[in-house]
């Protein structure tokens, strides 16, 4: 089974045309002139960022919402789910603990690599509250640490990040910039696969269905920021407990595959001659449907930060 793909304009003869949701405005000239020339052609609404991050672009082009007939996003109800950020973890059947003390040599507790300082998830408020009880070293555009490149959007920080946290730190904050269903970023995979570090997660994903049981700490398992930090301090002082978290990770084999182009190709072959119904892209990818208001999210897990949450510029996007 093979597919070819191009970036130039051969739209009339193509079996599918892929539109990046956040760049709809840049393609409006094509949308207005090219739709429905081929009844079987698939117009794919593609987006791997959460709705709160791209809604301004999507909502600004409401006249195009009913022009797509295939979805490709990170959610399972998409026609073509994008799964490259989701680790696939399988238990190692003959795995036995080496007895190594993974805490040995680590002199620092918590590290956070972050490039977006003001987010719809309000993770920055959670971290600020954490810092009342323990030290959090922050790298990237939002921090003062300078060991690694400040621009985390490049590929260079990857090795610097894993080398640094592997050597010095016990906990890594994997805090998402949006609290949306099924949304998870690639940094969690780097930590799970490549380091002797415990990830602390904040987000809307079902982490229990993705990550090895007992290998991570979910802020939703605690009733306050202080309760979470007390647990981190307890694990920091207890090497046996720390090693249990790391051993739980190594008892599984986790990999991630970027199969989107193959999945797209397979979908086109299976639906080649089907004339598909047009759907409402705005309703499908709206923050209201996919995301959670951080005030509601933090009410039971971090009530001390709820009064500090403000929406200044765009309340519907929680910013």
Q: How confident is the model at residue 9, as a pLDDT?
A: 56
Q: How far apart are alpha carbons 279 and 14 in whole angstroms?
A: 20
CATH superfamily of 90-255: Glycosyl transferase family 10, C-terminal domain (3.40.50.11660)
Local confidence band at 59 (pLDDT 50, 70, 90 cut-offs): confident
Q: C-alpha distances in angstroms, 293 versus 27, 52, 316? A: 31, 10, 9
Local confidence band at 36 (pLDDT 50, 70, 90 cut-offs): low
| Residue listed under structure tokens 């086109």 | 268
Q: How confident is the model at residue 192, as a pLDDT?
A: 83
Q: Quick check: 84 pLDDT over 90? A: no
Q: How confident is the model at residue 150, as a pLDDT?
A: 53
Q: Quick check: 200 pLDDT over 60? A: yes
Q: How confident is the model at residue 40, as a pLDDT?
A: 80
190 or 100, higher pLDDT? 100
Average pLDDT over residues 202-212: 95
What is the model's pTM?
0.90
The phi-psi region of residue 318 (left if phi > 0; otherwise alpha if psi is between -120 and 50; otherwise beta) is left
8 or 17, higher pLDDT? 17
Q: How far apart are alpha carbons 109 and 137 in whole angstroms?
A: 9
Look up residue 251 and give its two tokens: 């008892």
CB atoms within 10 A of CB 90: 10
Lowest mean pLDDT among 23-32, 229-238, 248-257: 23-32
Q: Of the candidates 306, 282, 280, which has an alpha carbon nearest to the alpha carbon of residue 294?
A: 306
Cα-trace Rg, the chain = 22
Local confidence band at 137 (pLDDT 50, 70, 90 cut-offs): very high
CB atoms within 10 A of CB 268: 18
Q: State the chain's mean pLDDT as an integer.
A: 87
H-type alpha helices, 274-314: 281-284, 287-290, 294-298
Q: Where in the chain is the domain with CATH 3.40.50.11660?
A: 90-255
Local confidence band at 108 (pLDDT 50, 70, 90 cut-offs): very high
Q: Quick check: 65 pLDDT over 60? A: yes
Judged on CB neighbours under 10 Å (0-12, 13-18, 19+), 182 is: buried
């Amino acid at each position: 089974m093979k597919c070819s793909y191009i970036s130039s304009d051969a739209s009339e003869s193509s079996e599918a045309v892929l539109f990046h949701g956040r760049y709809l405005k840049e393609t409006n000239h094509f949308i207005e002139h090219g739709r429905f020339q081929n009844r079987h052609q698939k117009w794919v609404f593609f987006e791997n960022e959460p709705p709160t991050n791209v809604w301004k672009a999507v909502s600004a082009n409401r006249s195009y919402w009913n022009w797509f007939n295939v979805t490709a996003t990170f959610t399972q109800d998409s026609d073509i789910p994008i799964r490259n950020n989701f680790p696939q973890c399988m238990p190692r059947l003959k795995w036995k603990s080496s007895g190594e003390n993974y805490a040995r040599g680590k002199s620092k507790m918590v590290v956070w690599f972050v490039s977006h300082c003001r987010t719809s998830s309000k993770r920055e408020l959670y971290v600020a509250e954490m810092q009342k009880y323990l030290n959090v070293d922050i790298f990237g555009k939002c921090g003062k640490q300078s060991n690694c490149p400040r621009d985390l959007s490049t590929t260079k920080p990857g090795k610097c990040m894993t080398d640094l946290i592997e050597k010095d730190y016990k906990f890594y904050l994997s805090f998402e910039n949006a609290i949306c269903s099924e949304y998870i970023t690639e940094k969690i995979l780097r930590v799970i696969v490549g380091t002797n570090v415990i990830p602390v997660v904040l987000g809307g994903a079902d982490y229990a269905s993705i990550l090895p049981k007992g290998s991570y700490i979910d802020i939703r398992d605690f009733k306050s920021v202080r309760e979470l930090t007390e647990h981190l301090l307890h694990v920091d002082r207890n090497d046996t407990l720390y090693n249990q978290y790391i051993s739980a990770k190594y008892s599984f084999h986790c990999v991630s595959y970027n199969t989107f182009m193959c999945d797209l190709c397979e979908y086109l072959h299976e639906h080649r001659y089907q004339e598909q119904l047009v759907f409402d892209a705005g309703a499908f990818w709206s923050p209201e449907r996919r995301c959670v208001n951080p005030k509601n999210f933090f009410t039971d897990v971090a009530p001390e930060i709820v009064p500090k949450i403000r929406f200044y510029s765009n309340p519907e996007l929680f910013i």
